[in-house]
């Protein structure tokens, strides 16, 4: 492989580097003071979703250069390739058609000469029948027991998306079964979930694209044993208490799940983009099929916006370019996601996988090392909890941390006074991070509190807030299946934009493979197989664990 230099990325890259040097000393306060129309110009609205990106260290020249970079990298062409079914996943030689899963039923999307939409709609109809049967009481457990609990078994994209959506929209429809999620191979999670559940009233959905995922398979076996221990005959357990979603329908059948209980998915559905497929069956069980269809419709609306809006007015493009701007030109290494809504508490974890598994890459599409920073470390916590945990670092630490603040204007509860407290904190934090507090302002506030002289001056340095911390504010009119679908698709397309700019493939994940291979070997050694050669640390730890397991 021939290593490339950043200068090979083009003249625009060098112009952006120089522009950053010129803009770096300029405070966000000054940008607002010099440009009275900034807040109005740097905002977009789409069907109940508002994006305010005015609190960023950018000016008109920044956006001209970033959008020119997007055009130079042929972002419009890549967007069209994504939607048309071209093999944008070049290392696995296949398309990435999560957008087809939520496309208009009348659309036509061709893969290898075949329109895939009829197959997608056929699976959707099967989902609808299953959901109606379970929620309507026609699908019964052993002994005629109605299904009151659904346990989703999966990991990664087979868990994070469905769990996040189901929690976020738990108040949307309360007439269905209670949906639980098991992902970790650590049996403490499965044990806690199953405690108190009635075996004859519980349905398991095993989600695994390959049906060989270690964690999912182990939990599915344990669930099968749990049903057997309750006295449910094997054939009845598999027929009445198991559904599966997999691209490997043969392996699901070999596990014992009848073919009629297995829903297919396809190799062009990436795990972290799969909640729109039959992997979303647990979502549909929780919300009803109408709620699931509304979620798809929201994502479809964002898809249309991403595909057709000009770069200058395109929400995912703007978010993606901001990430490139801070990561590659300001050197920011992390990105905070801060939902000010308890219902969205799982959103940061979902976006960690979406972003870090997609763009955590060090080689370009052609296999050569990249000479620039790619995906950021994504992290976050629900507000206002985060304010009492890590906001100290955001306000007075030494790191530049771009942040997304996400809120919902109308809550599902009737406690409007508390909701004003929540929204007030969201708005205050974005303003405080942007403005900061100067030494003069600190002195004035200390003096107003009664301090004077040396006591006052001793406190000034501790009360200075540099500000100039960039943030995006995303506000939803209300959290509904439609607006949540839009929000998720917004972030999916943001990640794609950044992959295009960095010339990397966001749809593979080879980095997770090595650990899986080594784990299989070590699991066998923990079970008593002769140890292979390991480094001194691993060999010592292995021996200690083997001794403990032998007790």
Catalytic residues: 357, 388, 516
Residue 506 burial by Cβ neighbours in a 10 Å radius (0-12, 13-18, 19+): buried
Contact 465, 436 (CB under 8 A): yes
CA dist 166 and 344 (Å) reads 10
Contact 539, 521 (CB under 8 A): no
Number of Cβ atoms within 10 Å of the Cβ of 551: 4
Distance CA 358, CA 374 (A): 10
Is 166 in a helix, a strand, or coil? Answer: helix
- With CA atoms as reference, report the closest residue to 487 among 81, 478, 200, 17: 478
Of the candidates 146, 37, 140, 50, the residue with the CA atom closest to the CA atom of residue 410: 50
Neighbouring residues of 426: CB distance < 8 A, sequence distance ≥ 6: 340, 383, 405, 407, 473
For residue 436, give the 3-state DSSP assignment.
coil
DSSP, collapsed to helix, strand or coil, labels residue 95 as coil
Is 16 buried (19+), middle (13-18) or exposed (0-12) by CB count in 10 A? buried
| DSSP 8-class letter at 529 | P
Residue 89 CA: distances (Å) to CA of 92, 130, 407, 496? 6, 32, 33, 11
Map residue 264 onto helix, strand or coil: strand
DSSP string, 353-379: IIIIIHH--SB-TTSPBPSS--SPEEE
SS (H, E, C) 214-254: HHHHHHHHHHHHHHHHCCCCHHHHHHHCEEEEECCHHHHHH
Q: Six-digit token pair at 194?
A: 């199953």
Take residue 136 and report the two structure tokens written for it.
């309507």
Tell me the C-alpha distance between 130 and 246, whole Å.
16
DSSP 106: T
**Which residues partner with 202 through β-bridges?**
149
Cα separation, 360 vs 112, whole angstroms: 29
What three-state secondary structure class fits 207? strand
Q: Return d(Cα 544, Cα 551) in angstroms, integer.
A: 11
What sign has the CA pseudo-torsion 444, 447, 453, 454?
A: negative
């Amino acid at each position: 492989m021939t290593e490339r230099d950043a200068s090979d990325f083009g003249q625009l890259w060098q112009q952006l580097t120089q522009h950053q040097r010129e803009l770096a000393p300029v405070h966000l306060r000054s940008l607002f003071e010099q440009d009275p129309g900034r807040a109005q110009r740097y905002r977009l609205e789409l069907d109940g979703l508002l994006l305010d990106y005015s609190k960023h260290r950018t000016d008109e020249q920044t956006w001209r250069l970033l959008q020119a970079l997007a055009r130079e990298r042929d972002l419009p062409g890549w967007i069209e390739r994504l939607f048309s079914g071209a093999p944008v996943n070049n290392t696995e030689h296949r398309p990435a058609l999560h957008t087809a899963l939520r496309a208009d039923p009348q659309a036509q999307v061709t893969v290898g000469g075949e329109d895939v939409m009829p197959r997608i709609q056929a699976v959707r109809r099967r989902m609808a029948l299953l959901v109606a049967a379970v929620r309507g009481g026609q699908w019964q457990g052993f002994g005629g027991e109605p299904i009151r609990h659904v346990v989703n078994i999966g990991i990664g994209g087979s868990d994070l998306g469905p769990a996040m959506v189901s929690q976020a929209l738990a108040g949307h429809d309360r007439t269905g079964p209670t949906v639980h999620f098991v992902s970790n191979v650590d049996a403490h999670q499965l044990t806690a979930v199953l405690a108190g559940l009635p075996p004859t009233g519980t349905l398991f959905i095993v989600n695994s694209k390959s049906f060989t995922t270690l964690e999912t398979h182990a939990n599915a076996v344990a669930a099968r044993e749990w049903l057997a221990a309750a006295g449910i005959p094997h054939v009845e357990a598999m027929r009445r208490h198991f559904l599966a979603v997999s691209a490997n329908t043969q392996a699901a059948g070999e596990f014992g799940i009848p073919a009629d209980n297995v829903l297919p998915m396809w190799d062009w559905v990436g795990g972290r983009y799969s909640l729109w497929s039959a992997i979303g069956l647990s979502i549909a069980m929780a919300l009803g099929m109408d709620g699931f269809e509304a979620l798809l419709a929201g994502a479809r609306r964002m898809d249309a916006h991403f595909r057709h809006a000009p770069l200058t007015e395109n929400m995912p493009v703007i978010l993606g370019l901001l990430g490139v701007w801070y990561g590659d030109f300001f050197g920011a290494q992390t990105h905070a996601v801060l939902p000010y809504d308890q219902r969205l508490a799982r959103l940061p974890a979902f976006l960690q996988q979406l972003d870090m598994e997609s763009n955590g890459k060090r080689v370009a599409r052609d296999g050569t090392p990249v000479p620039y920073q790619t995906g950021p470390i994504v992290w976050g916590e629900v507000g206002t909890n985060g304010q009492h945990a890590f906001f100290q670092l955001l306000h007075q630490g030494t790191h530049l941390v771009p942040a997304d603040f996400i809120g919902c204007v109308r809550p599902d509860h009737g406690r409007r006074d508390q909701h004003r407290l929540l929204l007030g904190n969201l708005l205050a934090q974005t303003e405080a991070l942007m403005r900061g507090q100067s030494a003069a302002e600190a002195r004035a506030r200390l003096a107003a509190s009664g301090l004077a002289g040396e006591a006052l001056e001793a406190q000034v340095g501790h009360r200075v807030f540099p500000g100039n911390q960039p943030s995006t504010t995303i506000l939803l009119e209300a959290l509904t299946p439609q607006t949540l679908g839009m929000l998720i698709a917004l972030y999916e397309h943001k990640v794609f934009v950044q992959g295009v700019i960095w010339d990397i493939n966001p749809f593979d994940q080879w980095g997770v493979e090595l650990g899986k291979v080594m784990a299989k070997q070590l699991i066998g050694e923990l079970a008593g197989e002769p140890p292979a050669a390991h480094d001194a640390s691993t060999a010592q730890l292995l021996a200690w664990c083997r001794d403990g397991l032998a007790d």
